Amino acid sequence: MLQRVLTKSNKSDLYLDLIELASGLLLVGFLWTHMLFVSTILISPEMFNTLSEFLDTYYLSYFAIPFIVVVALLHFVIAGRRIPTRIQEQRIVWQHAKMLNHFDTWTWVFQAITGMAILVLAAIHVWLVVTGWPINAMNSADRMEAFWWFYLVLLFVGEYHAGFGIYRQFVKWGMFPRKPIGYVAKLITVVIIVLGLAAMVAFVRLGGGA
C-alpha cells in the first residue's frame, strides 16, 4: 500500500508517546503540588496567603498558569489520539469493556471520559481564579462557598485521572509489576483527595465565618 510505505519508518509514533508521557507526568506533578499548596489552608489562612503572595511576587504564578494550560491542551490533543473517533469504534470499545468486565479496561474508558470532563471543568476553574485575582484565603473561601459542588466534582475527576494515568504510564514503561504500582498510586490519590476535602471544608468554614 503506497500510503503506508511512503509514511513508514518515522519516529512520530514514538515522539507522540513520549510527549504523552512527559506532559502527563508534568501535569500529575503540578496537580499534586497544587493540592499540597492548597492544603496549607489547613495549617492557617496566613500560611496560605504567604505562599500565594510568594508565588505572586516572584511571578511564579504568572509563568506557571499559562505554562500548565499549554501543557494541558497539548496533553489533551496527544493523549486524546487514543480515543476512537468513529462511532462504530466507540461502540466496539464500550461493548468490549462490558463483555470483558476487566478492571484496567474500565478504568481506561473512564480515563477518556474524565479527560474530556477535565478539559471543561479545569477551564472554568482557571477562568474563575484568574478573574478573581489575586489568590488569597478570603477569595478562595468565597469561591468555595459558592461553587463547592463544582470543586467536589473537579477534585474527584481530576485525582482519578491523575492517579490512574500515572499508574498506567508506569505499567507501560516501568520495570515493576503492576500490583505495587497500583497500591502506591491509589494511596497517593486517596491522601490527596482527603487533603482536598479537608481544605474544602476549611475554606467553607472560613467563608461562613466572615
Partner 1 sequence: MADRQLTFEIFRYNPLKPEVAPYMQTYKLAETTGMTIFVALNMIREEQDPSLMFDFVCRAAICGSCAMVINGRPRLACKTLTNTLPAKIKLFPLPVFKLVGDLAVDTGTWFRYLSEKTESWVHTSKVPDPKVQEERMDNAVANQIYEAERCIECGCCIAGCATANIRDEFLGAAGINRVARFMVDPRDERSPGEYFEIVGSEEGAFGCMGLMACDDNCPMELPLQMQLAFVRRKMAAYGLGYKEKKRIKP
Q: Which residues bind partner 1 (CB under 8 A)?
A: 8-9, 11, 13-18, 82, 84, 89, 92-93, 96-97, 99-102, 104-105, 108, 168-169, 171-175, 177-178
Q: Quote the CA–CA distance of 16 and 74 in Å, as a whole number.
A: 10
- Give the nearer residue to partner 1 in terms of CB position, either 166 or 199: 166
Q: What's the min distance (Å) between Cβ of 10 and partner 1?
A: 8
Q: What's the min distance (Å) between Cβ of 108 and partner 1?
A: 5
- Give the nearer residue to partner 1 in terms of CB position, either 90 or 139: 90
Q: What's the min distance (Å) between Cβ of 99 and partner 1?
A: 5
- Give the nearer residue to partner 1 in terms of CB position, either 92 or 146: 92
Hey, what's the cell of 82?
Answer: 487514543
- Give the Cα-Cα-Cα angle 140, 74, 116 (nearest 5 degrees): 65
- Give the nearer residue to partner 1 in terms of CB position, either 43 or 82: 82
- Given a contact cutoff of 8 angstroms between Cβ atoms, the answer to whether 68 and 158 are in contact is no
3 state DSSP class of 177: coil
Q: What's the min distance (Å) between Cβ of 167 and partner 1?
A: 9
User: Which has the closest alpha carbon to 26: 62, 83, 78, 104?
Assistant: 78
- Give the nearer residue to partner 1 in terms of CB position, either 178 or 186: 178
Q: What backbone phi and psi angles, to 5 degrees, belong to 174?
A: -80, 170
Q: What's the min distance (Å) between Cβ of 102 and partner 1?
A: 5
Question: Where does the chain show beta strands of DSSP type E?
Answer: none
**Sign of CA pseudo-dihedral 46, 124, 190, 192:** negative
